[in-house]
Chains A and B, each alone.
Chain A
Amino acid sequence: MPSPRYHREIPQRYRLEAVKCNNCSKILFPPRLICPDCGFKQFEKIKLSDEGKIITFTIIRVAPAEFATQVPYSIAIVELNDGVRITTQVVDCKPEDLEIGKFVKLVFRKIQEEGKTGIICYGYKAVLT
């Protein structure tokens, strides 16, 4: 991943920055330039809730090259307390511990290491609470 691309996403990946529509109050993560629900273009910057619950999940057994050394690992769609849903790894537990409806908290972790450019990529992962 080229460094400008990585740099652009840091506010979302490190600090969970999102925006809230000034018209309809929809929370958008990642931030957008136009609200998909009402078409409004003014937003307030907010921080996402870092707690939520598992909506669905899987265990990845065959991974892309960047993640090949991590298999098997768990991935879930998590609904945060403010209603926003994200896709994230669920770590520090056994894959068989995951269940739909279980509560999780987001933590700051290393996500992947870029082989060619050497950039170590960070972001959010979830742990069971």
Chain B
Amino acid sequence: MREVCVIGCGMTKFGELWAKSFRDIFVEAALKAINDGEVDKIDSMYVGTMSSGLFIGQEHIGALMADYLGVAPIPAVRVESACCSSGMALRMGFFDVASGNSDIVLVGGVEKMTDGADVTYALASAADQEYEVYQGVTFPGLYAMIARAHMYRYGTTREQLAAVAVKNHHNGALNPNAQFQREITVEQVINATLVADPLTILDSSPVSDGAACVILASEELAKSLKKPLIKILGSGAATDSLALHQREEITTLKAVRVSAERAYKMAGINPSDVDFAEVHDCFTIAEICILEELGFVEKGKGGLFTEEGHTSLEGKIPVNTSGGLKSKGHPVGATGIAQVFEVVEQLRNNAGKRQIKNAKIGLAQNMGGTGASSVVHILKNVND
């Protein structure tokens, strides 16, 4: 396999983009990535979107976006894996370049959630329709049951859950692309409106519109550009049961652990080699579980680790420097690539006020449903 680099990236601001259409936000992000990568051709394209059919009644996204980006007749296909659709799309694009089939690939993610669809219903389609959703459970409800089990088993506190949201809002306040550029307090999180006990609205990522794109190229081609060389060292993916109740242990996100182990193995690194990470904090409890599954902290200690500040911008391992899904926003299909956008910005030393020191190896973890699918990518600035 050939080595693969990220040579360009672009994203729209995340938020309620009432005036912009689904196709236009994708093209906006794609043009930014193409401009950043300084490429004059694209060999193929992969677009992650979770549920454009339910959100706006539009399927057949690969061809639609190739047409509106003006790159038809290149091959273009939509990739779907719930909230990790674009993380999985990146993996498809990675193998397309690595195999030698394509030299330059555009991978994007996009979602339009504010055009009037029943968002709760659409998101619930990532859970088991017949045996979870039928009974009346929602996505916040499923994560609330993980949170309750984690608190019961490991003594994780309500304040520790809140600390995730407070930290991510602090980072998001420094990100001009974030939906919520403001700080919040632990008290505000705890006293906010309950969505599914014990989780409140401020434990939950928002409903958002947005798109993000990256340009992948072979290392040989990337070396000819006068830019920091950002290589994808590893890609790992895994699956688990859609239904949360079928897992042996409710607080264990096995697909996250396995996808990370595969990515670490491919990259030839250990968790301790990772300088910073973007992870899938769709709810505060998710970030706590993910820290544990990625091997940054022992099982059950993710809440305390966060509360002690180890995942803050100045901590041992900064997590969600972009503001995460919580503060930056979560247009579900766009999230995986938006995470990689942040990793690349940090590796290029281009993250402005939220820039961390010595960013050499960054990890992006994106997952679908209650962790029924997960994909992890590890990127490195290989210039030095």
Contacts and interface: CB of A to CB of B under 8 A. Distances in A.
Given A30-B131, A59-B196, A85 B146 contact: no
Nearest to B143: A58
Contacts of B149: 55-56, 100
Given A56-B152, A64-B120, A77-B244, A111 B145 contact: no
B245 A75 contact: no
Contact of B250 (A30, A77, A125): A77
A116 interface: no
B135 A58 contact: no
B197 A111 contact: no
B69 interface: no
B250 A55 contact: yes
B196 A85 contact: no
A128 interface: no
B250 A111 contact: no
A121 B129 CA distance: 14
Contacts of B118: 64-65
A15 to B, nearest CB: 15
A87 B137 contact: yes
A43 interface: no
A88 B194 contact: no
A87 B120 contact: no
Nearest to A125: B135
A123 B120 CA distance: 22
Contact of B135 (A62, A85, A123): A123
Interface in A81-129: 85-89, 95, 100, 111-112, 121, 123, 125
A55 B250 CA distance: 9
A interface, size bucket: 20 to 34
Contacts of B199: 58
A60 B138 CA distance: 8
Nearest to B128: A87
A107 B146 CA distance: 25
A77 B136 contact: no
B136 A67 contact: yes
B121 interface: yes
Contact of B121 (A61, A64, A86): A64
Interface in B118-144: 118, 120-121, 124, 130-138, 140-141, 144
B121 A58 contact: no
A34 interface: no
Q: Could you say which of A55, A64, A66 has the most chain B C-beta atoms within 10 Å of its C-beta?
A: A64
Given A56-B146, A75-B137, A85 B120 contact: no
Given A65-B121, A77-B244, A86-B131, A58 B136 contact: no
Interface in A1-17: 9, 13
Contact of A56 (B120, B130, B132, B250): B250
A63 interface: yes
Interface of B: 118, 120-121, 124, 130-138, 140-141, 144-146, 148-149, 152, 193-199, 243-246, 250
Interface of A: 9, 13, 30, 55-67, 70, 73, 75-77, 85-89, 95, 100, 111-112, 121, 123, 125
